[in-house]
Structure formats: C-alpha cells, structure tokens
Amino acid sequence: MSRLRSVLTMGMVPASTDVGLLVLRLWLGLSMAVLHGWGKLGRLSADPIMFADPFGLGPGPSLMMAAAAEFIAALLVVIGLGTRWAALALAINMGTAFVAAHGATLSGEQSGELAFVYLAAFVVIFCAGAGKYSVDARLR
C-alpha cells in the first residue's frame, strides 16, 4: 500500500517549491520578454504608433508602458530581482490586455485566453515571491 501511495503521489521525486518557482519564473519571464516584449520594443520607433490606449494617455505612452512591463519587468522576474513588483506590473499589464484588448473573452475570435493564463501565473509569482534561487533571496 505504501508503494502505491508513493507512486500515486510521485514520492520518488523530491518536492521543492523553490525549484518550481524558478522554473515558473524562467519559463514565463523568458517567453514574455522574447515573444511579446521584444516585438513591442521594436514598435516604439514606428511612425505613427498604432496601439490601444486603455488609460487615455495616448498610443505612444501606452505602448511604452506595455513594452516596459513585457520586456524589462519580465527580465526582472527571470533573475528574481524586485520580483513581486515586476510580477505586479506584469499582472496589471495582462489584466489590461485581457479586458481592454480582448474584451475579457476566453474563446473565439480575439480570444484573451493567453493573457488570462499569463495573468494567473504572474499573480501566483506576486503572491509566492521569487523563491530561494533568486537575486531577491540573496539580498535578504
């Protein structure tokens, strides 16, 4: 019975919240920076800038804030520096994208499913912090 329990609970694999947070930070942060932030940085030099303006600041400042969150804050999440602040910026950015750009829809045309999943993951990082394998942990 204990062997079955061990197999069902994967007892042979050591549990480590810190390793899990490291994997989550690397996976999400790098995918956000490379797949989303890098492209937005390139769009900053476009003339005219075409971007959503959910806060009424203008397309340029809105794109700049989104690019900063999706590239700079994402890289901060990767290295684990100011992780909770960076994750908060990314969660706000993804929440705004989900509601303003995708109309809070999870399926169909213009689905915001990816923004919604990123939002959930960055909220987890915000709540949990960076973990042991981070610059934040070294600074403590």
Sequence ranges of the domains in the chain: 18-139
- pTM for this prediction: 0.89
Is the pLDDT at 50 greater than 90? The verdict is no
* 22-56 burial: b if 16+ Cβ within 10 Å, else e: bebbeebbeebbeebbeebbeeeeeeebebeeeee
* Mean per-residue pLDDT of the chain: 93
Query: Is the predicted pLDDT of residue 5 greater than 90, yes or no?
Result: no
Q: Assign 104 a pLDDT band (cuts: 50, 70, 90).
A: very high
What pLDDT does 2 receive?
Answer: 81
Using CA atoms, how far residue 96 sits from 20, 73, 90, 99, 101, in Å, is: 27, 16, 10, 5, 7
Share of the chain above pLDDT 90, in %: 74
| Amino acid present at 135 | V
pLDDT score recorded for residue 29: 98
Segment among 20-24, 45-49, 58-62, 104-108 with least mean pLDDT: 45-49
Residue 54, preceding peptide bond in cis (omega within 30° of 0): no
CB 77 within 8 A of CB 125: yes
pLDDT at 140: 87
User: CA torsion 70→77→83→17, rounded to 10°?
Assistant: 140
- 106: confidence class by pLDDT, cuts 50, 70, 90: very high
Whether 137 and 130 have beta carbons less than 8 Å apart is answered as: yes
